[in-house]
Amino acid sequence: MLFGYIDAHAGDGVPRVYRRGHGDILANTGVPQTGYRAPPRRWLIPLYMNVPFAVRERAQTWRALAMPASPTCFSVLVAALIAIGLALFNAALIVQTINLYHAFALDAPLDKLPALHRGEGIFALEQHLHLAVEPSVQRLLSRAIRTPFGVIPAAALRHGVVWIYLNALPVWLFAALTWNYLYKQRHFPMVRGLTIVSILLAVACYRVFPTAPPRFVLHGAPYYLADWTYGGTSIDAHVVHLVGFNPNAAFPSVHMLWATIPALCLAIGSRKVWVWMAALCYPLVMLIVVIASGNHYLLDCAGSLAVLTLSFLLILQR
């Protein structure tokens, strides 16, 4: 059919396809195929010059090769290459979004005084709402905890909190997104969009609303909140500055944001209560970690949930 023609000027307005050398109509819509002859060639459009027709034909050819009724080695190879290509595309999209987050977050304003005032305002609001739990949580984890399996030393608790804060992100995020891509493909586009949009919204908050964390605001009397993550630990300060971070990026808590998304990856689409309870264990652990380490307020974590909700609403508007 590459050397056929399309009659674009039929008298009844119905386009018809002719084959060169034959007068019978090969295809039409709603018109019998008998009793028609091909019009003069000057009124015809060659099929090889018709772009939509050519694209459709090539697409049907590749679909037949890639997904035949009886799979062949070639079709399996093509399907595998397409699957790998889509997986790499999604991974690159998320990785580049995270790189963009780091680039813009590090470039956010570093004015200490306005950031300190905003941090003080957040803590004052928590006191008004009776939610100022940051000093109490850190003091609780500064002591040894007795469990049915023995006593957990205070030093082990402290180093465990710091290790989770520094190393669990974004490893768990990538692992959960990968699992969701492999086993819950129907929900992956929504989760992927949620991740990307929430990251961009968090960056916007850092640039518009830079906020000092509790380790800066509450380090003095009467709270004496310690900086467990970047001070008083075995972490080299030069390594911290080499990796790069914004000290005034407390609101919202991206750690909490990237701990909630894996929970959604694991539990979305499930109606079982125990699945949701198991998935929420990691966000609850991260909530304790970011507060005990002096890096975020409780309202920062609430801000992460607000950013996630806004991201979900924006995705629904597509």
Question: 152: Cβ–Cβ under 8 A, 6 or more apart, which residues?
Answer: 144, 145, 146
Give me the DSSP letters along 192-228: HHHHHHHHHHHHHHHHHS-B--HHHHSSSTTT----T
Cα 117–Cα 118–Cα 124 angle in degrees, nearest 5: 90
3-state secondary structure of 18: strand
pLDDT tens per residue, range 182-232: 888 888 889 998 999 999 999 888 888 888 899 888 888 788 888 887 764
The residue-averaged pLDDT of 13-31 equals: 45
The residue-averaged pLDDT of 162-180 equals: 85
Looking at the chain, which runs of residues are DSSP E strands?
5-7, 16-18, 25-27, 44-46, 145-147, 150-152
The residue-averaged pLDDT of 40-58 equals: 55
Q: Quote the pLDDT of residue 94.
A: 87
Question: 287: Cβ–Cβ under 8 A, 6 or more apart, which residues?
Answer: 256, 259, 301
Q: Quote the pLDDT of residue 110.
A: 64
Examine the pLDDT at 303 and tell me if it is beyond 90: yes
Residue 55 pLDDT grade (very low, low, confident, very high; cuts 50, 70, 90): low
Residue 126 pLDDT grade (very low, low, confident, very high; cuts 50, 70, 90): very high
Q: Give the closest residue to 24 by CA, choosing from 4, 9, 45, 47.
A: 4
| pLDDT: which is higher, 15 or 176 | 176
| pLDDT: which is higher, 8 or 315 | 315
The residue-averaged pLDDT of 108-134 equals: 86
pTM of the entire structure?
A: 0.71
Residue 52 pLDDT grade (very low, low, confident, very high; cuts 50, 70, 90): low
Examine the pLDDT at 294 and tell me if it is beyond 60: yes
| pLDDT: which is higher, 39 or 185 | 185
Scored b (16 or more CB within 10 A) or e, 271-300 reads: eeeeeeeebbebbeebbebbbbbbbbbbbb
The residue-averaged pLDDT of 279-287 equals: 92
Question: 233: Cβ–Cβ under 8 A, 6 or more apart, which residues?
Answer: 158, 159, 162
Say if residue 252 is preceded by a cis peptide, omega within 30 of 0.
yes
The residue-averaged pLDDT of 52-74 equals: 66
Mean pLDDT, all residues of the chain: 77
CA separation for the pair 207, 261 (Å, rounded): 23
Q: Quote the pLDDT of residue 300.
A: 93
Beta-bridge partner residues of 6? 17, 45
3-state secondary structure of 16: strand
